[in-house]
Amino acid sequence: MKDRYQLSKLLDVFIAREFASRLPADSPLVVDAVDPGFCKTELVRNIRFPASLGMRLFQFLVARTAEMGSRVLVWAALGGRNRERELNGAYIASGAVYEPSDFVLSDEGLQMQKRIWDESVDILSAVSPRFKELAGIYLKN
């Protein structure tokens, strides 16, 4: 469980970068990976005692309100006017664009990004057979 948070953010970055790379040049869409930060929410409601006590204390000391976290999402959706190229495929946190890690930019990272994309398309196509068809219509291969 300890590594899952970091891995989920990495997957988010890979999916956003690959999705953005497959959009046609004239697409009005901007795809980015947004991190609202650690927010006070009820996501921790099912954590059992004594871990729940530590998590609640940690929330009290360092977490943002959910409303503050939502500002990052709104900024990513609306705040990039005339910055679409910079935001497309970017990792955004605290109202700023962060440079991807060396691993994400490496050849190995790019191969992993494409593999994750392909596997995600296969999984989603198994759920909805039209997914692959629609992706083929609207995205570059």
What pLDDT, in 10s, does the model give residues 53-68?
A: 888 888 888 899 989 9
Transcribe 31-82 into DSSP letters: --EEE--SEE-GGGTTPPTTHHHHHHHHHHHHPEEHHHHHHHHHHHHHTTTT
Round to whole Å and give the CA distance between 79 and 35: 15
Q: How many CA atoms lie within 13 A of 7 on its CB side?
A: 6
Other CB atoms within 10 Å distance of the CB of residue 76: 21
Round to whole Å and give the CA distance between 71 and 2: 27
What percentage of the chain exceeds 90 in pLDDT?
Answer: 43
pLDDT of residue 11: 94
Give 114-139 pLDDT, tens digit per residue. Answer: 999 999 999 999 999 899 889 888 88
Give 34-48 pLDDT, tens digit per residue. Answer: 999 888 888 778 888
**pLDDT above 80 (res 82):** no
